[in-house]
Amino acid sequence: MERNQSRRQIAVTRQSLFDQGFLDEQFVQLEELQDDANPNFVEEIATLYYRDSSRLINNLEQALEKSPLDFNKLDNYMHQLKGSSTSIGAKKVKAECTQFREYCRTGNGEGCVRTFQQLKKEYGLLKRKLEAYFQMVRQAGPSQVACRPK
């Protein structure tokens, strides 16, 4: 009974991530890749993503402190971050990346800085949400991983 409840809770949490626009279909793709060989594949990918993207965010942070801004460089970094963010289906982060690159194109430094702040917010928020979610999944046991909403 308790188990069922935790399962339901996981499902609700998971669904809210989609409903609130944090995640997109790519996350489901990752869940589908999860199998006996990689029972925690989604979490593994999320961990990889946060490890790698934090490097990129640092790069961006530094590049944004320079003046004048090197928009090419910024765009290049953001391109990488965007590509990386698509990997876990970080929908909101991706949207900010797109916005940032648009400002790069138009040479809008202020827009870049503003968007970057927003991006970091979304990035951090998703990270916390995912961490909480994965913890729930881990506690619920292996049978709980990779639940696809029907």
Partner 1 sequence: MENGFSSPRSDAFPAGLRVLVVDDDPTWLRILEKMLKKCSYEVTTCGLATDALRLLRERKDVFDIVISDVNMPDMDGFKLLEHVGLEMDLPVIMMSVDGETSRVMKGVQHGACDYLLKPIRMKELKNIWQHVFRKKIHEIKDIENHESIIEGMHLTRNGSDYSDDGHLLSVDDLTSVRKRKDMEKNHDEKDFSDASSAKKARVVWSVDLHQKFVKAVNQIGFDKVGPKKILDLMNVPWLTRENVASHLQKYRLYLSRLQKEKENSGMKHSDASPKDPPGSFGSIHQSDVVNSSYLFSGNSLLPRTVDPSSHEDDLKSIISEPVMEPKRPPVNLPDSHKTKNSQMGFNRSFQPLESEVDFAAFNSGIPTKSYWGEVPDVQFGQEHTPFVHLENGFTKLPLPDPLNHVNADSLQSIPCTAERGISGPTKSKPPCPEYGSNQISDPSPKVSILDPFPQSSKSNIVNHQRALEPIYPCTSSLTTQASCLSCTADIESAQRDVLNLASGSSSTLASFEDDLQVLFQGDSYGDTLGVRNLGFSDYIDAGLINEVPIHLYDSLRFGYEYPCDMTEYAILDQAY
Distance of closest approach, residue 74 Cβ to partner 1, in angstroms:
14
Binding of partner 1 at residue 79 (CB under 8 A)? yes
C-alpha dihedral, 96 to 99 to 103 to 109, nearest 10°? -20
Contact 122, 17 (CB under 8 A): no
Q: Is 90 helix (H, G, I), strand (E, B) or coil?
A: strand
Amino acid at 9: Q
Total residues at the site for partner 1 (CB under 8 A)? Answer: 30
Q: How far is 118 from 5, CA to CA, in rounded Å? A: 35
Residue from 41, 102, 114, 131 binding partner 1 (CB under 8 A): 41
* Minimum CB distance to partner 1 smaller for 68 or for 149: 149
Residue from 86, 118, 120, 131 binding partner 1 (CB under 8 A): 86
Distance of closest approach, residue 28 Cβ to partner 1, in angstroms:
8
* Minimum CB distance to partner 1 smaller for 19 or for 35: 35
Binding of partner 1 at residue 12 (CB under 8 A)? no
Distance of closest approach, residue 31 Cβ to partner 1, in angstroms:
7
4-31 burial, b if ≥16 CB within 10 A, otherwise e? eebbeebeeebeebbeeebbbebbbebb
Which residue matches tokens 């790519």? 26
Name the phi and psi angles at 23, rounded to 5: -120, 155
Residue from 82, 93, 103, 115 binding partner 1 (CB under 8 A): 82
Q: Where does this chain bind partner 1 (CB under 8 A)? A: 25-26, 29-33, 35, 38, 41, 44-45, 48-49, 51-52, 76, 79-80, 82-84, 86-89, 146-148, 150
